[in-house]
A and B are shown apart, each in its own frame.
Chain A
Amino acid sequence: MTTEADEPELRAHFEETVAADRRVEPRDWMPEAYRATLVRQIAQHAHSEIIGMQPEGDWITRAPSLRRKAILWAKVQDEAGHGLYLYGAAETLGADRDDLTRRLLEGRQKYSSIFNYPAATFADVGVIGWLVDGAAICNQVPLCRSSYGPYARAMVRVCKEESFHQRQGYELLWTMTRGTAAQREMVQDAVDRWWWPSLMMFGPPDAASPNSERSMAWRVKRHSNDELRQRFVDMTVPQADRLGVTLPDPELRWNEERGRYDFGTPDFAELARVIGGDGPCNRERIARRTAAHEDGAWVREAAAAHAERRARRADGAGVAR
């Protein structure tokens, strides 16, 4: 048990560990605010993986080729897996998955606002892979060096697996832009709809990001929102050129002096509205997740009851012997 007298020394040791870029592990002492920040961030990340299955998931039954069907299904399955890795990481901090799920369903914890936009056509599957997963990868790669060990390890696994997610999206778009004129239009339309929401995935501008500074000091987060957003734009523009699609930003141009692209400002008021619950699909997403959770209760209860009965029977058999 930690006594109050120990705390300054423990805190000093914690700060030293983080400053030296060593990992904090589950049973180490950590400040309560660090634990709470991590639970909040990891849970939000896990929820995003699970809710993020929905926009694309609906296209699995309708995918226009068996190859695309298999790829998309495997990708959406990975997202469920990534949600599980992350819930597992949160549980090492003493959080409970059921409780986190309840918080999600009650709107007390958030998920990435990008998943409140609808996937209107099959081209959206490609654009989600290319832009949304591309942005997610920018956000996630630095988290592989997060100061909290289980989170960092989960992210290593997630990033490795997601490497195919972005490529399959780009490959789908590549194939479609070389198909019919109608397909090219579908692709451009999807790009028009997803470009700005993708830029919003990096969160509000640094000046308006309340939790960022402390998260960076604790090395839970490693780069600022604006820095990652810029990195994403710089990576994506040449890919768009190669694809032959237009990114819907009249201010987008190469800045020779900075050696980076200049780009317009996303509509952060829209971001705030969507985060606040007023996006096109917020209600639908939570309703679906709630239904799955509630409809599944009898299955989970049956399995628990059976496990208990079997354990009792095994005990009984042991006594009889």
Chain B
Amino acid sequence: MSGTEAVDGGWPLFEVFVRGKRGLNHVHVGSLRAADARMALTHARDLYTRRNEGVSIWVVRSADVTASAPDERDPFFAPSGDKVYRHPTFYEIPHDVPHI
């Protein structure tokens, strides 16, 4: 996210999140430009759901996104690196146990 702001009549950048279907999270799909949030919603509908990809859309000004620092080597994510037990693959169980 570049956080580019509107300049001389240009429209600010918005990030778009689409819920593919009920039961799923909204997922970031990309960005677009719009004069305001209401326009960003219609643009998002026209650009990102031309093929019925979504049932719900969120838009947020790119400038309003607060992000953690750069990449996964950053201390922000380091603590989880050793907590492998949070991941299902940590647990070895026999292959023939169904539905798990």
Contacts and interface: CB of A to CB of B under 8 A. Distances in A.
Contacts of A303: 11, 35-36, 39
A96 B7 CA distance: 10
Contact of A297 (B2, B9, B36): B9
Contacts of A297: 9
Interface stretch (A21-29, A121-129, A250-258): A21-29
A88 B39 contact: no
B36 A310 contact: yes
A153 B7 CA distance: 28
B86 to A, nearest CB: 21
B10 A27 contact: no
A307 interface: yes
Contact of A307 (B39, B67, B71): B39
A85 B31 CA distance: 7
B2 A95 contact: yes
Interface in B3-48: 4, 6-7, 9-11, 13, 30-33, 35-36, 39, 47
Interface string B68-85: 011101000000000000
User: Which of B10, B13, B30 has the most chain A CB within a 10 Å cutoff?
Assistant: B30
Nearest to B31: A88
B51 interface: yes
Nearest to B50: A81
B1 interface: yes
A28 B71 contact: yes
A243 B51 CA distance: 30
Contact of B1 (A78, A81, A92, A305): A92
Contacts of A8: none
Given A26-B1, A311-B36, A91 B31 contact: yes
Interface in A245-303: 297, 300-301, 303
Contact of B2 (A85, A92, A306): A92
A304 interface: yes
Contacts of A71: none
A311 B12 CA distance: 14
B30 A88 contact: yes
A154 B67 CA distance: 21
Given A29-B70, A304-B35, A154 B30 contact: yes
Contacts of A92: 1-2, 31
Contacts of A25: 70-71
Interface string A78-104: 100100110011011111111000000
A301 B2 contact: no
A206 interface: no
A77 interface: yes
Interface in A167-196: none
A166 to B, nearest CB: 17
Contacts of A93: 2
Contacts of B39: 303, 307
Given A27-B67, A27-B70, A77-B50, A300 B4 contact: no
A19 to B, nearest CB: 15
